[in-house]
């Protein structure tokens, strides 16, 4: 089955069986995240989030870079103060990007970012919201916003959550552009590659691993992880217990256990893609 996806101008979409590849497609602008591109990306994630036939989402960039950050033209175009009582377009553009990152972070599917070239600002934030990051050694990462006199408002929670507050502070106070090797040491990059060929091989290996996991169990596990520190521990453990009991009796847990004892692979490993 093929999921019905939104029509896009600034993204290219390719569904191959159980996984969907989303490519940021403004190569002449180093894939800078315009408001229009961000809205398209949010529409795609919203459409995919309820379709379990897509179990993995791959994020990548066309051309020489992953994403050079936010498109500053959107900000200068909206610089005039709004009329009294009217919404502030500068606020709306910025805040909507935070909603997009939240959506990427919380989507039930596995999210894999494949990174080359520059990942700045909003592009860096997208990567920090992914579950798995495959990157070339010469890829670079930075939070340049303070150089423009602005905070990296919407990406800061995601960078801090992924790398820690101390590391995020270093990036905002210095503007350092760090490479893929350093991001691998910092724990953001899970698969460090010499070149595009190695990155493609790593992506295939990761997708094969995801294919071997229950999509329902992945979604449930991600939801539980997202609640750590947000709800009382006892309630989180209660929820986990209920999910295990329900899944074992009538769900993917039952299929997985039956497959184990029957010495066969679970049904979800037979998906195309």
Q: What is the DSSP string of the chain?
A: --------SSEEEEEETTEEEEEE--GGGTT-B-HHHHHHHHHHHHHHTT-TT--EEEEEESTT-SB--B-HHHHHHT-SPPPTTS--HHHHHHHHHHHHHHHHHH-SSEEEEEE-SEEETHHHHHHHTSSEEEEETT-EEE-GGGGGT---TTTHHHHHHHH-HHHHHHHHHH---EEHHHHHHHTS-SEEESSHHHHHHHHHHHHHHHHTS-HHHHHHHHHHHHHTTTS-HHHHHHHHHHHHHHHHHHSHHHHHHHHHHHTS--GGGG---
Q: Is the pLDDT of residue 15 over 90?
A: yes
Give 135-155 pLDDT, tens digit per residue.
999 999 999 999 999 999 999
CATH domain 11-211 topology: 2-enoyl-CoA Hydratase; Chain A, domain 1 (3.90.226)
Instruction: Kindly report the CATH number that applies to the domain delimited by 215-270.
Output: 1.10.12
pLDDT of 4 reads 83
What does the pLDDT read at residue 83? 87
- Note the pTM of the prediction, 2 decimals: 0.94
Split at pLDDT 50, 70, 90, the class of 3 is low
Overall average pLDDT of the 187-211 stretch:
98
Parts of the chain belonging to CATH 1.10.12:
215-270
Give the mean pLDDT of the chain.
94
What is the location of CATH 3.90.226.10 in the chain?
11-211
**Band of pLDDT at residue 2, cut at 50, 70 and 90:** low
pLDDT digits (tens, 9 = 90+) for 39-73: 999 999 999 998 889 999 999 999 999 999 988 77
Percentage of the chain exceeding pLDDT 70: 99
Model confidence at 76: pLDDT above 80: no
62-66, 76-80, 88-92, 268-272: segment of lowest average pLDDT: 76-80
């Amino acid at each position: 089955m093929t999921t019905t996806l939104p029509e896009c101008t600034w993204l290219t979409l390719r569904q191959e069986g159980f996984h969907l590849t989303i490519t940021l497609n403004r190569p002449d602008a180093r894939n800078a995240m315009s408001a229009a591109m961000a809205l398209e990306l949010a529409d795609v994630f919203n459409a995919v989030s309820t379709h379990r036939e897509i179990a993995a989402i791959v994020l990548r960039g066309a051309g020489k870079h992953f994403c050079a950050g936010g498109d500053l033209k959107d900000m200068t175009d909206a610089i005039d103060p709004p009329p009294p009582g009217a919404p502030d377009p500068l606020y709306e553009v910025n805040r909507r990007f935070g909603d997009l990152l939240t959506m990427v972070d919380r989507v039930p599917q596995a999210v894999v970012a494949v990174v080359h070239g520059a990942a700045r600002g909003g592009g860096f934030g997208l990567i920090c919201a992914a579950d798995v990051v495959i990157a070339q050694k010469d890829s670079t990462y930075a939070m340049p916003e303070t150089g423009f006199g602005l905070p990296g408002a919407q990406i800061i929670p995601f960078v801090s959550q992924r790398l820690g507050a101390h590391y995020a502070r270093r990036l905002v106070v210095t503007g350092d552009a760090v490479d893929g090797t350093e991001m691998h040491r910092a724990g953001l990059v899970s698969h460090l590659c010499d070149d595009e060929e190695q990155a493609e091989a790593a992506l295939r290996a990761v997708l094969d691993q995801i294919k071997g996991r229950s999509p329902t169990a992945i979604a449930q596990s991600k939801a539980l992880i997202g609640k750590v520190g947000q709800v009382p521990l006892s309630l989180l453990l209660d929820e986990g217990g209920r999910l295990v009991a329900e899944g074992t009796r009538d769900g993917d847990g039952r299929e997985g256990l039956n497959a184990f004892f029957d010495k066969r692979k679970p049904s979800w490993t037979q998906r195309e893609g």
